[in-house]
Amino acid sequence: MIELNDVRFSWSGGEPLLAIASLQVARGERVFMHGPSGSGKSTLLGLLGGVLEPQRGSVRIDGFELSAVKRSLRDRFRAEHIGFIFQMFNLIPYLSVLDNVALPARFSEQRRKRAADISGSLYDEARRLLAAVGLDPTVYADRQATQLSQGQQQRVAAARALFGRPQLIIADEPTSSLDADTRERFITLLSSECRASEATLIFVSHDASLRSQFDRQIALADINSAARLETAA
């Protein structure tokens, strides 16, 4: 599913930030990626999302060579195949909860079609996902995103990431703004929903205590040789 080979990245000719000789993630695998802040997590996610372009090496997702195509194609690929969940403030404040969940449909033809195939209509699929993440659509669908609590907002973000069944879900510290109790429940929910939609999950956190819930864990420091290269030089 994800295949990184000999990838190097640095900001505009500076010191290399990321140097990954090899990284493989299988389809449907749920991976916990662990690393302290500043270890290159955001950069790696940028590369996976096709927002950043490596100076060297190849980034393949689902057989698609991200690092070899133009930016607009990478943007399109991201829209079609990847769902993102961020640390906090994931929602567009001026859209309703339902519109936030269905937002990917505005930019991706495939996800729009798939969502409609699953539930009949875009909004029915959005309601189904809301219910799946534990938010009663009859109560929350028409609320403004800003009226929800942090935990609820993260769950809406998860529903949006899953909308239209993208093959890859990338979650960047999605639980760091939640308390311990909600955190557990959120991860369980996300894992089971990913399993249900057969999506690969990359879950990034600096909190190593969460790793037990995942198929596999990767410490970024182990695969990123940039720091070692630096000291060697």
Partner 1 sequence: MTLLPLAVRSLWNRRATAGLTILSIAISVALLLSVRQFSEQARSAFASTISGTDLIVGARSGDINLLLYSVFHLGSATNNVSWPFYERLAKHRQVAWAIPLSLGDSHRGFRVLGTNDDYYRHYRFGDDRKIEFAAGRAPADLYDAVIGAEVARTLGYKAGEQIVIAHGAGSTSFAEHADKPFTVVGVIAPTGTPIDRTVHVSLAAIQAIHLDWQSGMPAPKGQRVSAQDARQQDLTPDSVTAILIGLKSKIDTFQIQRSINEYRGEPLLAILPGVTLQNLWSIVGNVEVALLAVGLLVTAAGLVCLLVAILASLNERRREMAILRSVGARPAHIFALLVSEAVGVAALGMLVGVLCTYLALAIARPLVQHTYGLLLQWPAWSLTDLAILCGFLTAATLAGAIPAWQAYRRSLADGLTIRL
Binding site for partner 1 (CB under 8 A): 42, 45-46, 49, 51-52, 72, 75-76, 78-80, 84, 86-87, 89-95, 99, 103-104, 106-108, 160, 172
The residue (of 94 and 228) whose beta carbon lies closer to partner 1 is 94
Look at residue 84 and give its three-state secondary structure.
strand
The residue (of 37 and 212) whose beta carbon lies closer to partner 1 is 37
CB 133 within 8 A of CB 156: yes
CB 100 within 8 A of CB 91: yes
The residue (of 107 and 192) whose beta carbon lies closer to partner 1 is 107
What is the closest distance, in whole angstroms, from the C-beta atom of residue 94 to partner 1 in the complex?
3
The residue (of 10 and 87) whose beta carbon lies closer to partner 1 is 87
Distance in angstroms (rounded) separating the CA atoms of residues 120 and 100: 18
CB 174 within 8 A of CB 154: yes
What is the closest distance, in whole angstroms, from the C-beta atom of residue 80 to partner 1 in the complex?
7
Residue of 166, 169, 193, 205 lying closest to 87 (CA atoms): 205
For residue 58, how many other CB atoms are within 10 A of its CB? 14
**Who contacts 139 (Cβ-Cβ below 8 Å, separation ≥6)?**
none
What is the closest distance, in whole angstroms, from the C-beta atom of residue 101 to partner 1 in the complex?
10
The residue (of 15 and 109) whose beta carbon lies closer to partner 1 is 109
What is the closest distance, in whole angstroms, from the C-beta atom of residue 110 to partner 1 in the complex?
10
What is the closest distance, in whole angstroms, from the C-beta atom of residue 105 to partner 1 in the complex?
8
Distance in angstroms (rounded) separating the CA atoms of residues 195 and 61: 18
What number of CA atoms fall less than 13 Å from residue 51's CA on the CB side?
10
Amino acid letter, residue 99: D
The residue (of 93 and 233) whose beta carbon lies closer to partner 1 is 93
Q: At what angle do helices 109-119 and 122-132 cross, to 10 degrees?
A: 70
What is the closest distance, in whole angstroms, from the C-beta atom of residue 165 to partner 1 in the complex?
14
Residue of 134, 210, 145 lying closest to 175 (CA atoms): 210
